[in-house]
Structure 1
Amino acid sequence: MTNGVTPESVGFSSERPGRVNKMMQGYIDKGKLASGLTMLARHGETFHFEPYGVLDLESGAPVEHDTLFRIYSMTKPITSTAVMMLYEEGHFSLDDPVGKFIPELASLKVYDGMGETGMRLVDQQQPITIRHLLTHTSGLSYGFHQDSPVEEMYREADITPPDGTLQEMAEKLGRLPLLTQPGTKWRYSFATDVLGYLVEVISGKPFDQFLQDNILDPLGMSDTSFFAPEEKLDRLATVYGAGKGGIAPLHNPLVDRHARPHTLFSGGGGLVSTGADYMRFCQMLLNGGALDDHRLLAPKTVEMMRSNHLADALKPFAVGQSNASDTKGCGFGLGFRVVMDIAQHGIIGSNGIYSWGGAASTAFWIDPQEDLVAILLTQFMPSSYYPLRREFQIATYQAMVE
C-alpha cells in the first residue's frame, strides 16, 4: 500500500506536505529518532504514507509500510469501541456502577489526605460508573505521579504483570483506595484496562478474542495484536530513549512484553499495530462506525464518543504532572481528547478533532470537519520529550489549501 491519490486531488498543496517529511527526517538525521511513519487520508483516500529511518540502529533494516509499532495508549480508543458495541447491545447504561459487573470495584475506600495515624480513608460519595472509566474520572490512577501515598501503593502492587490476568488486575485494584472521589477529578489511569475486563465479563469471551472477532477481523486489521508473533518479530521496531550522546534501546517489561506471548491483555496500552491497520480503525470512526461492509457502531454512538463529557471544573486536564498545555481548549469524550476551542488550543486544526497518543510518541487524530485522518508512529520514550505531535499537526494543516 502506497500513497493512493495525489495531495491536490483531496485539497492539499502538492509541495507543502513535504514539510511533514522534512520534519520527520530531521529527527532521524539528527539522531533523535530511529524510526518513523506518517500517514494522512482525506475523503477516505490515503495521499501521504511515508516511512522514515530504521527499525533498529544495530541492524539498519529500513522502516517499511508494514512495520509494526507498539501503539500503547492508542489501544484505548479500540477498547472504548468494544465497550460501546456492548452498550449498543443493551448490556448497561453509561451511568451504571461498574461494581454491578466487577464486584471487586464496588466499594473501594477513597483517600482523603493524611491524618495523625496515616492515610485517612472515607466512603465513596457515588459509585464508579462506566462513564467514569471511559472519561478517566473514576478515581483510579496509574501510579506515575508523586503527589500521594496512593501512587506509591500502585507502584508496589504491580497491577498489570504480563503473565497475570485481567481478573487478578481487578482484584489488585480492589485492594487499593481510590485517589479521589469518582467523578470529581480527571486522572489518567488503569480505567481502560478495567474496561477491557468489563468486555470480558459481559461478553463471556477473553478480551483479546472479543477484539479479534468483533473489531480486528471485521476491519481487516490483520497486523494488530497484543504481541508480535515470532514470524513478524523482524518487522517490530525497537523502542529508544535518550542516552548519553544519543539515543539508546530500552528494555523493560513495558517494552519487552510486546515481543513475546503473554496473558494479561492490556486494554489501556497493549496493542502492536501498523499505520495501515490503524488507519482502517480511524476511517471506521470517521465514517460514523462503518468500514466497507462492516458496521461496528451507529453514527449516533460515535457522535456520543467524540462529544465532551467533562464538566468545566475538570478542565484543563493533564496526563502527566507537567502542565496541561496540549489539552488547552480541549474536553474529553469516551476514549478521546476532543478539541472544543481551537484558538485556546493554540495549534492549527479544527474544532471537533478527536485524538489520542501512545507512550512511545505515537499519535493519531480524526477531524470530522475536514474529513481527515492523521497518524504518526515512532518508538521513543518518553512521549513528552519532543514536540513531535504538535509539529506534525502544524505541518499537516499548513499543507491543506482547500
Structure 2
Amino acid sequence: MIGTAGPAHHRFDPDRLNRIRDWMGALVADRKYPGCSVLIARQGDIVFDHATGLRDIDADLPFARDTVARIYSMTKPVTTVALMMLAERGLFHLDAPVSDFIPAFADCHALIPNASRIDQTEPCAIPTLHQLATHTSGLSYPFNPGVLPAAMEAQDLIFGPSQGPLSDMANQVATLPLAFHPGQRWEYSVGIDILGRVIEVVSGQSLDMFLRTEILDPLGMSETGFSVMPGTQDRFAALYTPLAGDAFDLNSAQTGADTLRLTDTPTDSPFLNASMYSGGGGLVGTIGDYLRFTEMLRSGGALGEAHLLSPSTTRFMMSNHLPGDIASMGPSSFAEQPMDGMGFGLGGAVVLDPGRARAVGSVGDFSWGGMASTFFWIDPVHDLSVVFFTQLSPSSSYPTRPQLKALVHAALKD
C-alpha cells in the first residue's frame, strides 16, 4: 500500500523539492492555471503532496488533493491495462484484427497517398489490436490535420461524455477510411476508444462495469469513474481555457483576452451523467486515486492485495513497441508529449533518449497526459511516480511537463 515519508528518507533535498510549491504558486498567480496539485511517491511512499489555487474561480473553492478532475487521455493507460488483463486470460492475441470483435471493420480502406477527398481510397489490411493500442492503426482524431480528421469533425466523432452508446460510435468510425495503411505511420487517434468496445465484446460487460469491478474497485479508486461519483459533485472542478474559440482545438492559436475562460462548469457538465464510456478520454477522478493506478504499474502490476497484471506483462506494456521513436514514423498529428527520443508502449509514451526528448528524465520513463493539462510519469530507474492535476484545455498551452520533470530531478540526491 501507499505510505508517507519525509523527503530526506528517500534521498530528496527538501529545500529543492519545495521549489515545486513556488513553481505551482507562480502558475496560479500568473493566471495560467486556476489551481493545481502534485503528488510524488518514491518506493511506495508519498514524499511530496501540495495543492494550490482554485478548482472553481467563481465559487472561490480551493483546488485540493480530493478535487475531482477530468483526466481525459490519462484514461488510455487504464483501458490498456484492462485490455492486457483480458489478454492474460488467453482470450485474444494482440495481432488479432479488430474485425474479429467489431464486424463493421471487416472491409477496410485507406486514403490513397496525398488524398484530397474522403472518397479517394484503396483496400488495406484490417488494423490489429496492437496497432490500435499504439496509434499505428490509421485511425485519427478530429483535431488532427488532414482529410480523415476533417470528416471525423464533420460527424463529431470525438467520443464525448454525452455521445453514447460506445457501440454505435465505434461502428460509425468504421464507416470512414483510414488515414493510412495500418502500421505505416504513428497518428494520435481514437484507437483506444475502439479498444474499449473490444473490451465490452470480449468481457460481456460495459466498459464502465469492467473498469469498476476489475481495476478501480480493487485498487481503491472509489472516486474515479466515467461520471462524477455520488457524493463527490461538490468537489468537481470547473474547466478553463486560454483560447478564444474551441477549448478542444489543440492546434489553435486563437488566444483570448481571458487566460482562464470558463468552458465547462461543475454544475451542468456532461460528466455528471455520462452516456459514453470513452476508453480514450472519459474518466474523471482525484489525484490520489490516479496515484494508486501509477503505483500499481510501478510495482509491476499489483498494489496491496490487488494483482491486476503480472510483472512481465507490465514491463511489456511500458516498453517501446515502435521500430524507433515516434518522430521516425512521420506523424502529422497532435501529441501530448515530445516525439523525438520518445517511443510508445501500450497506452503511454516511453523515453528512449532524454537528450533527444529535450527533458530531464530516465530511459524507460512511462508517461501520458490529458487534454485538461493533467500529466503523470513513472520512472523505473528512480522508483518514482509523479502525478500533476489541473483543469485547463488544451494541454499544449504551457510547457509545464518538462518543467516539472526538471524540478523533480533537481531535488533528487541520487
- Shorter-chain TM range is over 0.9
2:283 counterpart (265, 271, 274)? 271
Partner of 1:191: 191
CA shift for structure 1 position 245: 4.1
Greater Cα shift, 158-167 or 60-69:
158-167
What SS does structure 2 have at the residue aligned with 1:262?
coil
Q: Note the 1:133-144 alignment, pairs <5 A.
A: 133-144=132-143
Q: 1:71 to 1:313 in 2, by over 3 A?
A: closer
What SS does structure 2 have at the residue aligned with 1:119?
coil
1:58-85 per-residue CA deviation (whole Å, 9 max, x = no partner) reads 1111122211110000000000000000
CA contact (8 A) 1:316 1:331 kept: no
Counterpart-to-counterpart distance in 2, 1:188 and 1:42: 31
What SS does structure 2 have at the residue aligned with 1:192?
helix
Say whether residues 1:396 and 2:408 are aligned partners. yes
Counterpart-to-counterpart distance in 1, 2:66 and 2:336: 34
2:259 counterpart (224, 238, 246)? 246
Counterpart-to-counterpart distance in 2, 1:117 and 1:350: 43
Counterpart-to-counterpart distance in 1, 2:276 and 2:405: 34
CA shift for structure 1 position 262: 2.3
What SS does structure 1 have at the residue aligned with 2:178?
coil
Provide structure 2 residue ranges, at least 5 long, that are not aligned to the other structure. 243-255
1:71-108 per-residue CA deviation (whole Å, 9 max, x = no partner) reads 00000000000000000000111111111111111222
**TM-score between the two structures when normalised by the length of structure 1:** 0.94
Counterpart-to-counterpart distance in 1, 2:117 and 2:388: 49
Partner of 1:347: 359
Q: 1:245 to 1:234 in 2, by over 3 A?
A: same
CA shift for structure 1 position 171: 1.2
1:157 counterpart (147, 155, 158)? 155
CA shift for structure 1 position 151: 1.7
Partner of 1:294: 306
1:313-342 per-residue CA deviation (whole Å, 9 max, x = no partner) reads 853468875699722211001111000112
CA contact (8 A) 2:325 2:344 kept: no
Counterpart-to-counterpart distance in 1, 2:15 and 2:300: 31
CA contact (8 A) 1:184 1:314 kept: no
Number of equivalent positions: 398
Partner of 1:180: 180
Amino acid in structure 2 at the alignment position of 1:249? L
1:89-138 per-residue CA deviation (whole Å, 9 max, x = no partner) reads 001111111111111112221111467997321001x3210100110000
CA contact (8 A) 1:240 1:247 kept: yes
1:13-64 per-residue CA deviation (whole Å, 9 max, x = no partner) reads 0100111111111010112211100010001000101111011111111122
Partner of 2:250: none
CA shift for structure 1 position 273: 1.2
Counterpart-to-counterpart distance in 1, 2:48 and 2:115: 57
CA contact (8 A) 1:227 1:271 kept: yes
Amino acid in structure 2 at the alignment position of 1:306? M
- Aligned residues: CA RMSD: 2.3
Counterpart-to-counterpart distance in 2, 1:114 and 1:12: 52
1:273-326 per-residue CA deviation (whole Å, 9 max, x = no partner) reads 111100110111111000001110000101111111111385346887569972
Provide structure 1 residue ranges, at least 5 long, that are not aligned to the other structure. none
Partner of 2:23: 23
Partner of 2:8: 8
Amino acid in structure 1 at the alignment position of 2:58? E
CA contact (8 A) 1:142 1:189 kept: yes
Counterpart-to-counterpart distance in 2, 1:364 and 1:313: 20
Q: 1:141 to 1:73 in 2, by over 3 A?
A: same
Counterpart-to-counterpart distance in 2, 1:294 and 1:325: 30
1:373-397 per-residue CA deviation (whole Å, 9 max, x = no partner) reads 0000000011111111111111111
Partner of 2:144: 145
Counterpart-to-counterpart distance in 2, 1:49 and 1:331: 29
Counterpart-to-counterpart distance in 2, 1:35 and 1:77: 24
Q: 1:398 to 1:237 in 2, by over 3 A?
A: same
Identical aligned pairs, as a percentage?
38
